[in-house]
Structure 1
Amino acid sequence: MQQSLHAVTLVVPDYDDAIAFYTETLDFELVQDIDLGGGKRWVRVTPPGSGDASLLLAEAVGSEQHAAIGNQTGGRVGFFLQTDDFTRDHAAMLAKGVTFEEAPRQEPYGSVAVWRDPFGNRWDLIQFT
């Protein structure tokens, strides 16, 4: 048997704003943007070189989903962007206005720094050693 994680849903306030951030600021690839009717879309973005693993961007509908934007993991870091060159990507993200919560630090597993997307989700930029 072979299985893999295909996508993780990320609730966002607006499809197009989220697409713009992930593709223009982070250089993710827009893999799919399919109109499902009724204002719903199937929108997947993937980091460069990540294979098939992706974020499924889902526009919030209703007060419960809107309340979850930026807090889908209860304030914890919920997303991990792995890189092959921490220094390069950290500098590029800073240059594009990404907000880091901390300076880069070394942990036993590698280099890491916590950042937030414009919707409030906490991420690690991480390079494993």
Structure 2
Amino acid sequence: MNWTLEVVIVPVSDVDRAKAFYAERLGFAVDHDTKVGDDVHIVQLTPPGSGCSIVVGKGLTDMAPGSLRGLQLVVSDLHAARARLVERGVEVSEIQVLGENPNPEPDPLDNVGFVFFNDPDGNGWAVQQISARG
């Protein structure tokens, strides 16, 4: 039996600002934007190629906006991903190498190369390079 992670709720203070950040700056697809009265607003967004989506909204969680840390995206080319984030206006860290890569071929950044950024509320994201999965 597979247990797939499908959705992660990201706590935000301003749904429209979060939707614009994730869709326009990060390039996530807007799967749906649903208002259920004045107290509930749900926006689901999915990173390109991902099987897991995020949900931002109003009336969804009691987590404080900006309190989520450790969300992680994986890309095959960290240099290209960082360049895209920078050109879209995302404040992103320089590439950092965390740990020692036991298999530095074909790329020494595989598994150990990361960049970090926050959304407008301060929710913390990492982007890791993994160019091939074994």
Structure 2 residue 17 is matched with structure 1 residue 55: no
State, as a whole percentage, how many aligned pairs show the same letter. 31
Report the secondary structure of 1:113's partner residue: strand
Following superposition, the deviation at residue 96 of structure 1 comes to 1.6
Paired residues of 1:12 and 1:60 also in contact (CA < 8 A): no
Q: 2:31 is aligned with what amino acid?
A: V
Would you tell me which structure has more strand in proportion to its own residues?
Answer: 1
Q: 4+ residue stretches of structure 1 with deviation over 4 A?
A: none
- Structure 2 CA distance for aligned equivalents of residues 105 and 22 of structure 1: 23
- Structure 2 CA distance for aligned equivalents of residues 104 and 2 of structure 1: 34
Rg comparison, structure with higher value:
2
Paired residues of 1:11 and 1:57 also in contact (CA < 8 A): yes
Paired residues of 1:115 and 1:122 also in contact (CA < 8 A): yes
Compare 82-91 and 36-45 and name the one that shifted more.
Answer: 36-45
Q: 1:106 is aligned with what amino acid?
A: V
CA RMSD of aligned residues (A): 2.1
Aligned residues: 120
Report the secondary structure of 1:11's partner residue: coil
Structure 2 residue 96 is matched with structure 1 residue 105: yes
Query: Which of the numbers 109, 115, 118 marks the counterpart of 2:117?
Result: 115
- Structure 2 CA distance for aligned equivalents of residues 15 and 42 of structure 1: 8
Who is 1:96 aligned against?
88
Would you tell me which structure has more helix in proportion to its own residues?
Answer: 1
TM-score by length of 1: 0.81
Q: Assess, with a 3 A threshold, how the Cα gap between structure 1 residues 60 and 97 changes in structure 2: closer, same or farther.
A: farther
Paired residues of 1:105 and 1:113 also in contact (CA < 8 A): yes
Q: Deviations over 1:6-55 (max 9, x none)?
A: 1011111111111111000000000111222233122110100113x100
TM-score by length of 2: 0.79
- Structure 2 CA distance for aligned equivalents of residues 91 and 110 of structure 1: 18
Q: What stretches of structure 1 of length at least 5 have no aligned partner?
A: none
